[in-house]
Amino acid sequence: MKISHRWRIALLTSCASGVIFAALLGSAMLLLVRREYSAAHGALGGPLDSAIAELEHGETFSELGTFSALPQNSTLAIFSEKQLPLYRTDAAAIGPWIGAGEQAAGGRNYVFRSRRSGKLLVVVATDWTNARAGLLRVGVILAALWLPLTLIVGLTAYLAAGLMFRPLVNLATQARVLAKEHRVGRLEDPNDADFSPLAQDLNALLSRLQAEIERQEQLVSDVAHDLRTPLTVIRGRLETALLTAKKDGYRAAMELAIQEAERLTDMTNAILEGEATEEEPAILELSKPLTDAADRWRPLFERAGIKLTVEAGSVAARIGSPEWQMLLDNLLENALTHSRADGACTVQLIASQAARLEIADTGPGVPEGDRERIFERFVRLDESRTHAGHGLGLYLCRRLVRARGGRIWVEANGTAGARFIVELPIAAVNA
């Protein structure tokens, strides 16, 4: 689960403030308890010293009954050497406690101090029950304040982070709009000291992208237009020569040349228009054009030392013959380009739920992160840039296949190589 930077800031701030508030509130509570305890404990020192002094001057227990130096809610008790009670100023359940500290007796809590006077033990204690309960209530209140204070700080940090990242969110929103509209524009400068440089850098990048796209589109348009004229001339000359050709070998060569010129013309139109060449093509039986294409390419594969194997089952789809030829030529050329010299290329055409064409090579393969990107316009992987081309072949293949209701993708061919798969809706030949 991904967490935004805004939430991270809020959570980190909440955690830090929670720790700080816990330390501060805990320290405040501890200081308050110590102060109250020290005050109660210190108030007993004077009465204890006075009582012992009077006993040492020969005062009797009855005369101690008028002792007036005890704090409110305090008790004086005297115990024998065997810790038997000899005297107490009231009925509080004071015991023969030795030293100083806190004790519970009779359901009450007492802070006490004691000291011996001869064989007698003098104990002075203050009822600490109400003060202890009050401190406990204060502790509960401080503990209850911890969560709201932490949440308030976290909410403040969340809102502040939202304000801080608002210029960046606006830039991202503008970028999404440009992507949705399939155009390259400029991002609005947020006039922010932190994000204005980012917007300027992005605008510079977008400007370079726009210039590159325009250059590439112009290149494609120029190439396509430049190809049309010589192809038309070649076809016209070949047709004229065919009318006067007498030998069968010459006629066959010229007929083949005319077919190739027509195929190149269709490919040029596809590049120029960027669309399928026919809106509703007739149903085409795919196996025969596939074997014909393989026969055309086989000498090139053999010359490169690559074994070409074709298995073509009978299956039909609604796709134009020039489109099918262009699709086959692009994929076969791709396999020839990237297969190693002693490798192999396997072509299969089978009928399952769709007309399925598989062309597998033994090249370096396509990294998983690039298997979608290679079908984009003008995209060529780094390792392929030593080969001729402009990165249009696979782009045209995907555009054509999608126009015919199919899909094309690439996957790994075992441990080495790539497998390009095309699926087209099956059509009945007699439909």
Tell me, what's the pLDDT at 63?
58
pTM here?
0.47
User: Kindly report the CA angle at 361 between 224 and 346, in degrees rounded to 5?
Assistant: 100
CA distances from 40 to 46, 65, 86, 114, 161 (A): 12, 22, 25, 14, 49
DSSP-derived secondary structure letter, 81: T
DSSP-derived secondary structure letter, 368: G
pLDDT in tens, the chain (431 residues): 678 888 888 899 999 999 999 999 999 999 999 998 898 888 888 888 888 888 887 766 665 554 556 788 888 888 988 889 888 888 888 899 999 999 998 889 999 999 998 888 999 999 989 888 999 999 999 899 999 999 999 999 989 888 888 888 888 888 888 777 767 778 888 887 887 888 888 888 888 888 887 777 776 666 665 566 566 666 676 777 767 666 666 666 666 677 667 766 766 665 555 544 446 778 999 999 999 999 989 988 998 899 999 999 999 999 988 889 889 988 998 899 888 888 899 999 998 889 999 999 988 888 888 888 888 866 666 444 344 444 677 888 888 898 899 999 999 887 778 999 999 999 886 54
CA distances from 83 to 80, 119, 120 (A): 5, 10, 8
Helix axes 196-244, 248-273, angle to 10 degrees: 160
Query: Residue ranges of the alpha helices (H) in 44-99?
Result: 45-56, 61-64
- Taking alpha carbons only, the member of 137, 118, 164, 128 closest to residue 43 is 128
Nearest-angstrom CA–CA distance, 220 and 272: 7
Local structure of 30: helix, strand or coil: helix
Residue identified by tokens 């796209």 is 213
In this structure, the number of other CB atoms found within 10 A of the CB of residue 199 comes to: 21
Q: What type of residue is 284?
A: L
Nearest-angstrom CA–CA distance, 82 and 242: 141
Q: Where are the beta strands (DSSP E) in 288-416?
A: 307-312, 316-318, 344-351, 355-360, 407-412
Q: Which are the contacts of 287, defined by CB distance < 8 A and separation ≥ 6?
A: 312, 313, 314, 315, 349
